[in-house]
Amino acid sequence: MLSSSRVAMHAKAQCAAAAAPRCAAPSRCASVTAAASMAPTVAAAASPVALPSRKSSARAPRVVGGARRAGASIRRAVSVTASADAKPFLKRTCRLVLEDGSCWQGFSFGATGTEVGEVVFNTALTGYEEIMSDPSYKGQFVAFTCPHIGNVGINTEDNESSKCHLGAIIIKDLSKSVSNYRSRMDLDKYCKEQGVLGIWGVDTRGLTRVLRDYGSLVGVVTTDMSKSVDELVKQAKGWSIEGKDLLSVVSCKEPYEWAKGTTAEWEFAPYAKGSSKEPFHVVAYDYGIKYNILRRLASYGCRVTVVPATYPADEVMKLQPDGIFFSNGPGDPSAAPYAVDNAKALLGKKPVFGICMGHQILGQAFGAKTFKLKFGHHGGNHPIRYNPTGRVEISAQNHNFAVETSSLPAGVEVTHINLNDGTCAGMVWADKKAMTIQYHPESSPGPHDADVCFQQFIDMMKAERGMKAVAA
């Protein structure tokens, strides 16, 4: 097996060899050339002999002059053009250049131009549309480890926000055909509409090994082949996602109401009713909230008011919520002190629940610190242990930062642990009526193991009303 350093060195060498066309099937090219030079019956005649139609009843003319005996088969001179295109293979039209100097050549699809962002890999086998439309990927490029992307096209129901926020997607094979009854367009057209750069033909396995071993790297994806690798490396080195507040960038600008739950066709949770005589009013901070989070809250009987990331805590309390939700979102949690201040002001007043970025914002409000993971957690197959019962959940995850457990104050219980690296995946501070989850219980895409977290939040609000809890 090649080491990650040798994989990166190979990628660097690709740019140097870009001018020389590569043959994807050299044996095929060789056989065509050999056939053209060795076939004895091929004549390069200027005017080929016309062959009689199969439908014609006329016999072929007999050869005279003793060249052939009567009844012998007639050999016809047929000109065959044994042509081979001078450039029979696709020209590479797009590059991914990483800050370590490696260059990954590929083919462009979707939008054209140049984008810079942090490159992460996602191990999910399904749900590329949901991943692309997740606002938490703002400022990032996603390299899919699943080799075939685009095979089910794009539909109008599975988007997780109103637009794509990521800068580019990096894939091995772009499906040439689309096969799904819900599809409305192919991936290439969708990326063009959304302004997302796509590059296919990349060795995503090799790229993933580099990111896994050396950590997430900033990269530049460009269709401008005139730019030198050195220029692109300099551009990558001049950008970082750390210290960037992206919550206010992707958040809504004005409050709005959400009441649409999961449709009956897709509902799977036994406790989700979709309605209630006395629905709980949840105010949700939008740091880049996914539609399916809102659907799950509504399915569990909540009336949801979504507010911008910067919405003041006192204005939230004026809305008279039964509970307050802190959503997922992109970027560095330490770069949004206004969000932490609002969370501090709301702790203990009403039941609160945070997912992903919300988990990190509440962690800081508790008094803890956050830190950047080596390559983050991105995928639909991460195992989580729920400490109170020992239950193991397979979870969907998408984050690059984590809460430092050693900095948590007394009274905060770490309820969930990521079994891959031991990081904090969930907390409860009972005295402050707060619970958090680092991953995505709403899935979309991913397994439904953790959907019970929504029922636990409902139970916290029920307790405030003196009602009986349901979930364990």
CB-CB contact of 236 with 116 (8 Å) = yes
- Cα separations in angstroms, 301 against 65, 227, 271, 438, 454: 98, 54, 10, 23, 10
Taking a C-beta distance cutoff of 8 angstroms, is the pair 131, 137 a contact? yes
- Tokens standing for 11? 């990628």
Q: Single out the catalytic residue among 103, 356, 424, 453.
A: 356
Q: Which residue has the tokens 């091995």?
A: 172
Q: Are 404 and 370 in contact (CB under 8 A)?
A: yes
**Of residues 377, 378, 442, 453, which has the active-site annotation?**
442
Pairwise CA distance, residues 352 & 346, whole Å? 8
Q: What span, in angstroms and rounded, lies between the C-alpha atoms of 472 and 456?
A: 7
Determine the residue type at 196.
V
Q: How far is CA 11 from CA 3, 8, 18, 291, 334, in A?
A: 13, 5, 11, 38, 34
Query: Which of 359, 378, 382, 440 is flagged as catalytic?
Result: 440
Residue by residue, DSSP assigns 344-409 as HHHTTTS-EEEETHHHHHHHHHHT--EEEEEEEEEEEEEEEEETTTTEEEEEEEEEEEEE-GGGPP
From residue 209, give the alpha-carbon distance in Å to each of 3, 63, 103, 322, 410: 8, 70, 15, 46, 39
94 part of the active site: no
The span from the CA of 166 to the CA of 330, in Å, is 10
- Reply yes or no on whether 115 is catalytic: no
Quote the DSSP letter at residue 89: S
Q: Does 442 qualify as catalytic in the annotation? A: yes
Q: Are strands 424-429 and 413-418 parallel, antiparallel or unpaired?
A: antiparallel
Backbone angle region of 101, left / alpha / beta, with phi > 0 → left and psi within -120 to 50 → alpha: left
For residues 102 and 14, what is the distance between their CA atoms, to the nearest angstrom?
A: 9
H-helix segments, 172-260: 187-194, 204-214, 229-237, 247-250
Report which residue type is found at 453.
C
Spatial distance between the Cα atoms of 322 and 312, rounded to a whole number of angstroms: 17
Give me the active site residues, please.
Answer: 356, 440, 442
